[in-house]
Chains A and B, each alone.
Chain A
Amino acid sequence: MTLIGVSILTFVLLRVVPGDQITAAYGTAAGDLSPEQLQALEAYYGLNEPLLSQYLGWLGGVLTGNLGVSATSHLSVLSMTAQSLPNTIELAVLAIGIGLVLGVPGGMLAASRPGRARDQISQLTSLVALSVPSFLLAAAVSSWLVNTIGWYPNGEGYRTLGEDPLLNLQQMLLPALVLGISIAPPILQTTRAAILAVRSEDFIRTARAKGVPARRLQVRHILRNALIPVVTMSGLQFGFLLGGALVVEQIFAIPGIGRQVLLGLEQKEYAVVQSTVLVIAVMFVLVNLLTDVIYRLVDPRVRVQ
């Protein structure tokens, strides 16, 4: 139901865009086309049909794996997505990794002495990190690197993980770091709140009373339970990264799925933008669903309800 709404919305949105696909494909030369040629092209792209049948045609194609063809590069959107999606997923996985490495220990540190200096410092740091937009951080970091040590791996053409693993990881490092810093604050906050909540539970008092050593109590009893909401949070952030990475992909020239949307928008390519946005939205919904499922697996209490 939601997905049908999503597909209608993406379809309608892009039909309202001023300028059409033919002008996009032929540039100013489109003005020189004779009315007959224009009609033939409109028929070729299916632009002369009523909106409803255009929509149904597009939807039918999507359901059978035909996402349309780019008018400028003549590549199918499916193959473009097959190339760009792995890059975005790699970036998102690395960013989540960095976000967890920064956020979970930060949250543990903050929760270890709530209200004291270390708590306030980590809360303030996360508030500032939350307030710095990723594109500003990306612009500042890349310009600083270029100007000081002259090392900027993203200046070269992009290589996939399969082509050149070493260069690929160098190229992924900065964008993943920037995105990781921007998703660390919510992870930190969730970890902190979860640890504080678990610590006041009855079973912790019981464990402490029966003499469980402090370290074991921290790891086995508190942290293990506190990580359940952190898993949910990471899932939400992963979904956000699939579509939200587009600014960072643009700055660091990572040919991911977000950049595919941006390029499509610039070139007024209905088919590309529509299908790519739909792919992103579907993945977003699926990731959120999957997070829900994992949550049920990790936390037996939810399963019972």
Chain B
Amino acid sequence: MSAAADMHEVPEVPTTRASGRWRQAFRTPGGIVGLVLMAIVTTLALLSAAGFGPDPAAQEVSEALQGPSGTHWFGTDQFGRDIFARVCSGLANSLRVAIVSVTVAALGGVLLGILAGYYQGILDRAVGVITNVLFAFPSLLLALALAATLRRSWLTVAIAIAVVYLPIFARVARGPVLTLRHAEYVLAATAVGRTRLSTLFVHVLPNILGILVVQVTLSLSWAILTEAALSFLGFGTPPPAASLGGMIYEAQTLTSVAPWMLYAPGAALILAVVGLNLLGDGLRAALDPRGGSK
């Protein structure tokens, strides 16, 4: 196994190398563009969440369906609500759902995955069955069934998405642990009297963080897309809260009179996802030892 050969090359102080790799990730053009896009998206979302700018829920029926102008940068919708404010608020909602769901999925999935890979036995088989069952559903279908089951709110949408991505994290984390548990420095740590559990967290976990960071970035972009799809289908974040998928659904019937209603949330959604994907690609090239398709 070449992976086992790589293990010997891990230097004593991995932090310096890690920071160098991080810088490398943001030196590629794609990585920089991704970083800038995400900075813009996050700033808009944070400003909206902090209450800056026009109120995304304020209705002014006399100003309904107006095109983009100085007062309403992206125009207004059928209730006269400011679309720029709603797009920012929708981005905040997308990011909130994505961050909560991926955090839950990553923490739960990684914990299950590394414990299963490290301790093997019945635990490994149980985790295997759970991931297989969850993998037997097309992901959007599973998220839909879960979201439809729970009471509608942004949090339940996040939980539904978390359940779908949990097995992915479990599998991504388990694989490398299977090789790492036989690595010499892991055996050495146990030999000098470290408990197996602390070896797992102190020596094994830090070595798979690179792969996990990449997985987190890509999962965030999938989570944003899934939330938007669920909201579009009417099973996501409930109105009147702004969600990008819900806005696109509302715009669909009004495109002949108010095409801007579709452009703004659509563009915001694409920019956020492209940003995350570029960032993920940059990170993968820098952090993932198997990455780099050259």
Contacts and interface: CB of A to CB of B under 8 A. Distances in A.
A18 interface: yes
B225 A133 contact: yes
B259 interface: yes
Given A5-B133, A114-B294, A140-B266, A243 B140 contact: yes
Contacts of A14: 145, 149
A251 B229 CA distance: 12
B145 A10 contact: yes
A17 B248 contact: no
A284 B138 contact: yes
A253 to B, nearest CB: 13
Contacts of B248: 135-136, 139
Interface residues of B, number: 44
A128 interface: yes
Contacts of A13: 145-146, 149
Given A128-B274, A133-B228, A258 B141 contact: yes
B78 to A, nearest CB: 15
A258 B262 CA distance: 25
Interface string A113-153: 01100000000000110111101100110011011000000
Contact of A244 (B138, B232, B281): B138
A89 interface: no
Contact of B262 (A143, A244, A266): A143
Interface string B107-146: 0000000000000000000000110110011111100111
Contacts of A146: 255-256
Given A5-B129, A243-B137, A284-B137, A192 B269 contact: no
A1 interface: yes
B251 interface: yes
Nearest to B225: A133
B221 to A, nearest CB: 7
Contact of B129 (A1, A250, A265): A1
Contacts of A244: 138-141
A277 B141 contact: yes
Contacts of A193: 293
B124 to A, nearest CB: 15
Given A136-B270, A140-B262, A6 B148 contact: no
B262 A139 contact: yes
Contacts of A10: 145
Contacts of A139: 248-249, 251-252, 255, 262, 266
Interface residues of A, number: 52
B145 A277 contact: yes
Contacts of A147: 255-256, 259
A285 interface: yes
Nearest to A124: B30
A144 B245 CA distance: 19
B294 A9 contact: no
B233 interface: yes
A143 B144 contact: no
Contacts, number: 128
B38 interface: no
B217 interface: no
B229 A135 contact: yes
Contacts of A240: 138
B237 interface: no
Given A140-B262, A243-B140, A244-B141, A135 B232 contact: yes
B133 A9 contact: yes
B182 to A, nearest CB: 22
A147 B281 CA distance: 37
A18 B149 CA distance: 7
A158 B139 CA distance: 27
Contacts of A277: 137, 141, 145
Contacts of A144: 255
B149 A2 contact: no
Q: Which 10 A-B pairs have the closest CB atoms?
A: A243-B138, A5-B133, A143-B255, A131-B273, A243-B141, A131-B274, A2-B132, A139-B252, A265-B148, A281-B136
17 contacts: A6-B136, A6-B137, A13-B145, A16-B150, A115-B294, A131-B277, A135-B228, A135-B245, A139-B251, A140-B262, A143-B252, A244-B140, A247-B140, A251-B252, A262-B233, A266-B234, A281-B136
Interface of A: 1-3, 5-6, 9-10, 13-14, 16-18, 114-115, 127-128, 130-133, 135-136, 139-140, 143-144, 146-147, 189, 192-193, 196, 239-240, 242-244, 246-247, 250-251, 258, 261-262, 265-266, 273, 277, 280-281, 284-285
Given A136-B269, A244-B141, 18 more contacts: A2-B129, A2-B132, A2-B133, A5-B129, A6-B133, A14-B145, A127-B278, A135-B229, A139-B249, A139-B262, A143-B259, A146-B256, A240-B138, A243-B141, A246-B233, A261-B141, A277-B145, A285-B136
